[in-house]
Chains A and B, each alone.
Chain A
């Protein structure tokens, strides 16, 4: 059954929570509603289920306006699974699911065999048959949520609304519940509208997404269209990296450190990182969070360390993918490096393509810049040059400072930069303000 939302506005007191929302949901679709807290997505679901009445606009189910449904008729067409289920009462699971048949029963009618059969099926589909006699209060969160879905199924709805059905569940249950809902959507043709908190789950399961922002729809469409870094930054105010799911290609959202302005302090705490092949991502993130001014080089375009540097907005010297470091890039690298107070040589694999990076580290040491050589996995052979790389590395180690784990590196850096703790920066600032 299709759902049409036309120019819906809803206010709590005088505050507009939904502002002129229009949306068309086609029959049999699994639609995810996403958006930050307070963006109006739960209110939207309550307006859809007629728990709240909009001040303007209308909703229609199929061809019929929502207002024309009787309460029972509506409950036979649409079922709702709430976020938090009131379970203070010792009803058995069967009793609770049987309540899903209430909209089909007259005031003086009791449940027929057919009703019990529908309940039995609903329990079976949701994998709750074995819980039938148990009290609802004894169940785990995931079991209880499955029972609530069974109750919704017993209503034999054409539209199923879910309000953050998995928000209190661990990842195993989340998957179980959403797999179940998706199966119902595909096999029974039920139109599903679910408010989901987790963007990755939403992208993974929903055919379409609607992104709410301040009571309006900021974007809607396919997950790939809605879940873009720009949209998320605009709506959530946070920087993320959107990359395809490694297996299925659905968009996946990864967090990035909060934005900050590099540049002002670059003279005093500049660290240059020589990395590659994934050896530097964690280093960059940690040092970025500690507040250093970072640069990196020479990295191949598309390398994961290059992605990390780019995501953190670091100045970086880049080389074309799979190409050796060219003399021109090497010169740029050296001119970037000479301003640094410290250079970190990450535990990179040594190949003919990046030997110039080792040369650069050596040059830095000769200029008197402190060079930290990270070597956490000594047993692993990472020289693919037949000895040449290892020879160079040994030279760098002689002139530089060898560190065998990251904690040691961070302490050494803190000592060098007199920054024993990230809070020191703060307290120094307050001190100068006092002075």
Chain B
């Protein structure tokens, strides 16, 4: 992609994202005109002017309920897409996604344990579930990484296999824990299906640093990711310190995933689908692919969440179900269109 096309692409994706944020915040049980919504957000974000003409209750709905939720959707979507691109590039496998390495299963086990402790032993403290989930994700990643390590190197194939095995094992652990949970199973089920219900600014502050620092690190390694696609031996001869690069990328992408999953639960398909879809437009160059996927992932999850909370209102559907409903057919479409060959 040349400079002009890149500029056009980024302008388009950014406009779509801003528009999505405003519209998604405006949509809800109480309809608030998008113009008003935009003014409230702008006033609060910049602090340059006030919106005294709008009732405080409306302002409160926007600023304390809907906007944080939309913003969190944005952050989670961007995080998952970013991690997806990194894992696919790093593992040179089109089926890799943030969940392949076992990070999400680790988070799920952590969250399930937290919920069980709360229910069975009334043991709890603030933000217990995200914290447990994060620790679980981190432990799973650590375990998979060391399992895959052979003599100081981490071959891609063993990494994938270790990830798959550990994920399956942890899924079994979750099922077992759900048996213990008995009638309280629904809470766990809802968390596992992924959702942004009842989330607030706290979760945003939790995810944001990981996403910001993570995306900067990942972006600075974009060229190395490109070179790595040529194969590890070729990358070595092109000056990439392969093992160190793999380690850094793996840990960074896993931490970004862990942070996202720990507050949102298991939202599948975003990290798998978005990179593939974006790649069709941008090509495989990670310097465009990474930011573009983050932007698209953000908009996508915002709208998936809108559907999740409106389609059966006042009841909510877990957003992970929506992403799967949209994602699976789209993936099949890609597969057929490209004559059963999905490329990176």
A residues with a Cβ closer than 8 A to B are: 46, 49-51, 71-72, 74-76, 78-80, 82, 85-86, 88-92, 95-96, 99-100, 102-103, 105, 107-108, 137, 155
> Using Cβ atoms and an 8 Å threshold, which residues of chain A touch B284?
89-91
Stretch of B66-74, B117-125, B221-229 on the interface side: B221-229
**A89 engages B229 (CB within 8 Å):** yes
Closest Cβ of chain B to A59, distance in Å, is 14
Does residue B155 face the partner (Cβ distance < 8 Å to A)? no
Closest Cβ of chain B to A70, distance in Å, is 8
**B344 engages A88 (CB within 8 Å):** yes
Contact with A along B268-295 (1 / 0, CB 8 A): 0000000000000001110000000000
> Using Cβ atoms and an 8 Å threshold, which residues of chain B touch A91?
226, 229, 283-285
Main secondary structure on A side of the interface with B? mixed
> Which residues of chain B in 220-244 are interfacial with respect to chain A, using CB atoms and an 8 Å cutoff?
220-221, 223-224, 226-227, 229-231, 233-234, 236-241
Does residue B343 face the partner (Cβ distance < 8 Å to A)? yes
Closest Cβ of chain A to B282, distance in Å, is 10
Contact with A along B200-230 (1 / 0, CB 8 A): 0000000000000000000011011011011
Closest Cβ of chain A to B246, distance in Å, is 13
B233 CB contact (under 8 Å) in A76, A79, A82: A82
Q: A89-B284, A90-B283, A90-B284 are in contact. Are A99 and B238 (CB under 8 A)?
A: yes
Q: Given the complex of chains A and B, what is the CA–CA distance between A85 and B230 in angstroms?
A: 8
A103 CB contact (under 8 Å) in B220, B226, B239, B285: B239
B237 CB contact (under 8 Å) in A49, A86, A89: A49
Contacts A86-B230, A89-B343, A91-B285 aside, 10 further interface pairs with beta carbons under 8 A come to A46-B233, A71-B239, A71-B241, A76-B239, A80-B234, A85-B230, A99-B226, A100-B238, A102-B240, A105-B223
Interface centre among B226, B233, B237 (most CB of A within 10 A): B237
> Using Cβ atoms and an 8 Å threshold, which residues of chain A touch B234?
80, 82, 85-86
A-B CB proximity, top 8 nearest: A75-B239, A103-B239, A72-B239, A80-B237, A86-B231, A89-B284, A71-B241, A89-B229
**A108 engages B237 (CB within 8 Å):** no
Contact with A along B236-276 (1 / 0, CB 8 A): 11111100000000000000000000000000000000000
Residue of A nearest to B224 (CB): A102
B residues with a Cβ closer than 8 A to A are: 220-221, 223-224, 226-227, 229-231, 233-234, 236-241, 283-285, 343-344
**A71 engages B240 (CB within 8 Å):** yes
22 A/B residue pairs, CB under 8 Å, sorted by A: A49-B236, A49-B237, A51-B233, A51-B236, A75-B238, A76-B239, A82-B231, A85-B230, A86-B229, A86-B231, A86-B234, A88-B343, A88-B344, A90-B283, A91-B285, A92-B283, A95-B226, A99-B227, A102-B224, A102-B238, A103-B238, A108-B220
> Using Cβ atoms and an 8 Å threshold, which residues of chain A touch B344?
88-89
Residue of A nearest to B221 (CB): A107
Closest Cβ of chain B to A151, distance in Å, is 8
Residue of A nearest to B287 (CB): A110
Residue of B nearest to A152 (CB): B237
Residue of A nearest to B234 (CB): A82
Closest Cβ of chain A to B242, distance in Å, is 8
**A102 engages B283 (CB within 8 Å):** no
Q: A89-B344, A90-B284, A95-B285 are in contact. Are A51 and B237 (CB under 8 A)?
A: yes
Closest Cβ of chain A to B87, distance in Å, is 16
> Using Cβ atoms and an 8 Å threshold, which residues of chain A touch B236?
49-51, 71
Q: Given the complex of chains A and B, what is the CA–CA distance between A86 and B237 in angstroms?
A: 14
Q: Given the complex of chains A and B, what is the CA–CA distance between A50 and B233 in angstroms?
A: 10
Residue of A nearest to B236 (CB): A51
**B230 engages A99 (CB within 8 Å):** yes
> Using Cβ atoms and an 8 Å threshold, which residues of chain B touch A108?
220
Residue of B nearest to A96 (CB): B230
> Using Cβ atoms and an 8 Å threshold, which residues of chain B touch A72?
239
Q: A86-B231, A88-B344 are in contact. Are A107 and B220 (CB under 8 A)?
A: yes
> Using Cβ atoms and an 8 Å threshold, which residues of chain A touch B231?
82, 86
Q: Given the complex of chains A and B, what is the CA–CA distance between A96 and B241 in angstroms?
A: 18
Residue of B nearest to A92 (CB): B283
> Using Cβ atoms and an 8 Å threshold, which residues of chain B touch A90?
283-284, 343
Closest Cβ of chain B to A31, distance in Å, is 18
Q: A89-B343, A90-B343 are in contact. Are A78 and B223 (CB under 8 A)?
A: no
**B220 engages A78 (CB within 8 Å):** no
**B227 engages A79 (CB within 8 Å):** no
> Using Cβ atoms and an 8 Å threshold, which residues of chain B touch A100?
238
**B230 engages A75 (CB within 8 Å):** no
> Using Cβ atoms and an 8 Å threshold, which residues of chain A touch B224?
102
> Using Cβ atoms and an 8 Å threshold, which residues of chain B touch A74?
237, 239
> Using Cβ atoms and an 8 Å threshold, which residues of chain A touch B241?
71
Closest Cβ of chain B to A74, distance in Å, is 7
> Using Cβ atoms and an 8 Å threshold, which residues of chain B touch A49?
236-237
> Using Cβ atoms and an 8 Å threshold, which residues of chain B touch A78?
237
Q: Given the complex of chains A and B, what is the CA–CA distance between A82 and B230 in angstroms?
A: 11
Closest Cβ of chain A to B207, distance in Å, is 25
**B223 engages A102 (CB within 8 Å):** yes
> Using Cβ atoms and an 8 Å threshold, which residues of chain A touch B221?
107
Closest Cβ of chain A to B57, distance in Å, is 48
Q: Given the complex of chains A and B, what is the CA–CA distance between A82 and B285 in angstroms?
A: 22
> Using Cβ atoms and an 8 Å threshold, which residues of chain B touch A79?
237
**A155 engages B285 (CB within 8 Å):** no
Closest Cβ of chain A to B187, distance in Å, is 44
Q: Given the complex of chains A and B, what is the CA–CA distance between A312 and B237 in angstroms?
A: 47
> Using Cβ atoms and an 8 Å threshold, which residues of chain A touch B220?
107-108
Q: Given the complex of chains A and B, what is the CA–CA distance between A96 and B283 in angstroms?
A: 13
Q: Given the complex of chains A and B, what is the CA–CA distance between A211 and B239 in angstroms?
A: 30
Closest Cβ of chain A to B233, distance in Å, is 5
A75 CB contact (under 8 Å) in B223, B229, B237: B237
> Using Cβ atoms and an 8 Å threshold, which residues of chain B touch A95?
226, 283, 285
> Using Cβ atoms and an 8 Å threshold, which residues of chain B touch A105?
223
> Using Cβ atoms and an 8 Å threshold, which residues of chain A touch B230?
85-86, 89, 96, 99
Closest Cβ of chain A to B155, distance in Å, is 14
